[in-house]
Amino acid sequence: MRGAARPPHALILLLSIAAVGESYQKFNPRAYLQNNYMPPRADFSAEDCVVPWKLRCLAEAFATGDIHGRTLIDIGSGPTIYQLLSACDHFEEIIATDYLEVNREVLRRWVRGEPDSFDWSPYIKHVCRIEGKGEQWKEKEQKLRGKLRQILPIDVHQSEPLGSQLCQRADALVSTFCLEAVSPDRPSFERALRNVTTLLQPGGHFLLIGALEESFYLAGEAKLSVVPVSEADVKEALSKSGYYIHDFRSYLMPPSLKIGVDDVSGVFFVHAQKKPVA
């Protein structure tokens, strides 16, 4: 069948999204974890270091008590679980998702407690400390493992990012360093945000963390392009997708943490809420 002519810009967009997908085939989870989740970026003795900053933003958002429900979906989890540590008390089930099978396998291995898994224990201990509820870290680790029942493939560039895998929309979403890192330009970033918003029920909360003004990052042999976004771009994209912003914070990456694995200028954290249907 001869199809209708596709407008050239749509074809270019499809090609650039395909190129991003291709560049991720070389993503090395171990190198990515080493670059971003080990010292100097993960220094738990300094509250103003980037990793403790992210963990505090998440802990404080969940401590409000406003974000809870049956299901939370993490969009583009990658090989990491730190972003779910403060969430696990507030949801019955947590669904992790990623585009790459290698990352989903890293997560499954952590859930099974395989011995060669990345050591998240300093993160879990730190979160127990800052939450101040007297929880033992082993207890939190077990709780999160128990709640992470599904680890699903996802593509945020699809209008239905999880296809038919989802039975019910989530009560909340978390996403860290995904949307800008997989979008070739700002319109695709905005479209990806619109696509994942379909997974969230009206009135649901979204905790979004990402890179500010970054153009690339490294993960082993892979050099991944990132669409540089400003605070204003993120706020505008959220507003266009129908969110209220409850809290917006920024972190300026200090020179000591500019270690050549990316060109990130800072990090944003947003607590947004999808507007209820009128």
- For residues 190 and 184, what is the distance between their CA atoms, to the nearest angstrom? 11
Closest contact distance (angstroms) between CB of 65 and ligand SAM is 24
Q: Which amino acid is at 154?
A: I
Binding characters for ligand SAM, 209-228, by CB under 6 A (x = yes): --------------------
Scanning 114-122, 137-145, 177-185, 231-239 for contacts with ligand SAM by CB under 6 A, the matching segment is 177-185
Scanning 98-106, 128-136, 230-238, 240-248 for contacts with ligand SAM by CB under 6 A, the matching segment is 98-106
Scanning 106-114, 140-148, 152-160, 232-240 for contacts with ligand SAM by CB under 6 A, the matching segment is 152-160
CA-based end-to-end distance of the chain: 42
Binding annotation for S-adenosyl-L-methionine:
32, 37, 76-77, 82, 98, 103, 155-156
Among 182, 227, 238, 264, binds ligand SAM (CB under 6 A): 182
- For residues 79 and 219, what is the distance between their CA atoms, to the nearest angstrom? 12
Closest contact distance (angstroms) between CB of 278 and ligand SAM is 30
Cα separation values, 182 from 7, 21, 156, 215, Å: 23, 8, 8, 11
Residue 98, φ and ψ in degrees, nearest 5:
-160, 155
Kindly determine how many residues on this chain lie close enough to bind ligand SAM according to the rule CB under 6 A.
20
Tell me whether residue 99 or residue 123 sits nearer to ligand SAM (CB atom).
Answer: 99
- For residues 175 and 88, what is the distance between their CA atoms, to the nearest angstrom? 15
- For residues 116 and 118, what is the distance between their CA atoms, to the nearest angstrom? 7
Closest contact distance (angstroms) between CB of 85 and ligand SAM is 12
- For residues 78 and 11, what is the distance between their CA atoms, to the nearest angstrom? 28
120 binding ligand SAM? (CB under 6 A)? no
Among 91, 99, 137, 243, binds ligand SAM (CB under 6 A): 99
CB atoms within 10 A of CB 165: 13
- Enumerate the H helices of 100-222 as residue ranges: 101-112, 121-131, 137-147, 186-197
Which residues bind to ligand SAM, rule: CB under 6 A? 24, 27, 76-78, 80, 83, 98-100, 103, 154-157, 176-178, 181-182
